Amino acid sequence: MLPEITVQELKSMQDANEEFLLLDVRNEDEYSLCHLNALLIPFAELPQRLSELDKNQHIVIYCHGGGRSSRATKYLIENGFPHVSNLKGGITAWATEIDPSMPKY
């Protein structure tokens, strides 16, 4: 089973100023609609852009609903990134449970 965190856990991490990288694996057009303060690396570009990520850093990965970020989490683990977590429910869960003013699509 892949490591996952909930949107409430992510909000707590942000509020506590914990050190982690938030990685958005959606496409640029989705990112332009709404996003969290995150590094955008679309899922299709991940293999070519691994060098932009620090294997020692905790990385929280999100997408629209959790599918692509689950695959990205698995991919990073398989490529030597031990500290990764998938954001359960993606940005849709964030918009529903944490920030209802965020646009949904």
CATH number at residue 71: 3.40.250.10
For 66, the domain range is: 4-97
Specify if 104 maps to a domain: no
10-35 pLDDT, tens digit per residue, is 999 999 999 999 999 999 999 999 99
Number of folded domains in the chain? 1
Rounded to two decimals, the pTM is 0.96
Q: Among candidates 19, 20, 80, which has minimal Cα distance to 55?
A: 80
pLDDT at 61: 98
pLDDT at 1: 87
78-93 pLDDT, tens digit per residue, is 999 999 999 999 999 9
Whether 54 shows a pLDDT value over 90: the answer reads yes
Residues with Cβ within 8 Å of 9's Cβ and at least 6 positions away in sequence, in order, are none
Specify if 11 maps to a domain: yes
Active site residue 63: yes
Catalytic pick among 41, 63, 76, 87: 63
